[in-house]
Amino acid sequence: MTNIILIITATLTALIAGLFYAYSCSVNLGLGRLTDKEYLTAMQSINRAILNPLFFSSFIGTLIMLPLCTYLHYQQINGTRFILLFAATLVYATGTFGITILGNVPLNNMLDKFNIKTASIEEISVQRERFEKSWLWLHNIRTVAAVISLILVITSCCCNRE
């Protein structure tokens, strides 16, 4: 059962790392080419659409499964698999989940409240500037953290249990 949980954990971590990586190398680049109004409209739509059970099951599922998997592999504090999973848990919880909740989500909420239809061209331009740079910076941090977490989980799969 412990190995099955490790496989589920690795899969969930890979799904989130893949999602954020895909944004970094395609979605964000494509959105960056849009006009200010198109960009803000698209980001509002994406930010609303991603709030769905499939995303939450992998995003929060990873946050649940990593510590569970780490606990199940606790045999001795110096066990390699335990240390790798513990590190993956810390990196994901702070660098991916924490950055998202404390950084990206507040920016998304701010953007969601912005009424594009009634805003002037100047207000739209200011809103994009206020949102985009910070959001992308935070997104890059959470992407790197998710990939590091994934590497740690995959590496733990290659280690002996102790």
For residues 44 and 80, the model is more confident at 44
Tell me if 7 is assigned to some domain: yes
Taking the CA of residue 61 as centre, how many other CA atoms within 13 Å lie in the half-sphere pointing to its CB?
Answer: 18
- Alpha helices of the chain — where are they, by DSSP H? 2-22, 28-32, 36-49, 53-72, 80-91, 99, 105-113, 121-157
What confidence tens digit (pLDDT) does each residue in 83-111 have?
Answer: 999 999 999 999 999 999 999 999 999 99
What confidence tens digit (pLDDT) does each residue in 19-64 have?
Answer: 999 999 999 999 999 999 999 999 999 999 999 999 999 999 999 9
- Cα 146 from Cα 96, distance rounded (Å): 6
Record the tokens describing residue 44, joined without a space.
């509002």
1: pLDDT confidence band, cut at 50, 70 and 90?
Answer: confident
Tell me if 23 is assigned to some domain: yes
Tell me if 32 is assigned to some domain: yes
- Cα 107 from Cα 89, distance rounded (Å): 25
Tell me if 132 is assigned to some domain: yes
Whether the CA torsion 12, 14, 17, 23 is positive or negative: it is negative
78: pLDDT confidence band, cut at 50, 70 and 90?
Answer: low
Q: Which of 114, 143, 93 is nearest to 36 (CA)?
A: 114
Q: How many folded domains does the chain comprise?
A: 1
Tell me if 162 is assigned to some domain: no
Task: Kindly give, in sequence order, each residue whose CB lies less than 8 Å from that of residue 2, ignoring residues fewer than 6 positions away.
Answer: 72, 73
Tell me if 63 is assigned to some domain: yes
Task: Report the pLDDT value the prediction gives residue 94, as an integer from 0 to 100.
Answer: 98
Range of the structural domain that residue 82 is part of: 2-157
